[in-house]
Amino acid sequence: MEFGNLHAFLAVADSGSFSAAAQQLYLTQPAISKRLAALEEELNLRLFDRIGRRVCLTHAGEILLPKAREMLLQAQDMKHLASNLQTEVSGPLLLGTSHHIGLHRLPPVLKSFRARFPQVELDIRFMDSEAACQAVGRGELEMAIVTLPNTPPSHLQTRKLWRDELFFVAAPEHPIVNMPQVSLEMLARHPAVLPGPGTYTRSILELALQENSIELTSIMSTNYMETLKMLAEINLGWSLLPATMLFQANLKTLPVQLQLYRSLGLVTHKGRTPSNPARALISCLP
All structural domains of the chain, each given as residue ranges with its CATH number in brackets, are 3-83 (1.10.10.10), 91-161+264-284 (3.40.190.10), 163-263 (3.40.190.290)
pLDDT at res. 141: 94
pLDDT at res. 54: 82
pLDDT (tens digit per residue) in 44-88: 999 999 877 789 999 999 999 999 999 998 888 888 777 666 667
With a pLDDT cut of 90, the percent of the chain lying above it is 83
Q: pLDDT band at 107, cuts 50/70/90?
A: very high
Q: Is the pLDDT reported for residue 93 higher than 80?
A: yes
pLDDT at res. 165: 95
Q: Is the pLDDT reported for residue 116 higher than 80?
A: yes
Q: HSE-up of 11 (CA within 13 Å, CB side)?
A: 23
pLDDT at res. 114: 96
* Residue of higher predicted confidence among 52 and 144: 144
pLDDT (tens digit per residue) in 274-284: 988 999 999 99
d(CA 195, CA 210): 17
Q: Is the pLDDT reported for residue 118 higher than 70?
A: yes
Strands 192-194 and 219-221: parallel
Q: Considering Cα of 23, then 97, then 79, then 158, what sign does the dihedral take? A: negative
Strands 239-242 and 219-221: unpaired
Q: Is the pLDDT reported for residue 96 higher than 90?
A: yes
Interval 230-242 mean pLDDT: 97
With 0.75 as the threshold, say if the pTM is over it.
Answer: no
- Mean pLDDT for all residues in the chain: 93
With a pLDDT cut of 70, the percent of the chain lying above it is 98
DSSP element (H, E) containing 192: strand 192-194
d(CA 86, CA 92): 15
Cα distances (angstroms) measured from residue 272 to each of 71, 79, 114, 155, 230: 12, 11, 24, 10, 40
Interval 236-248 mean pLDDT: 94
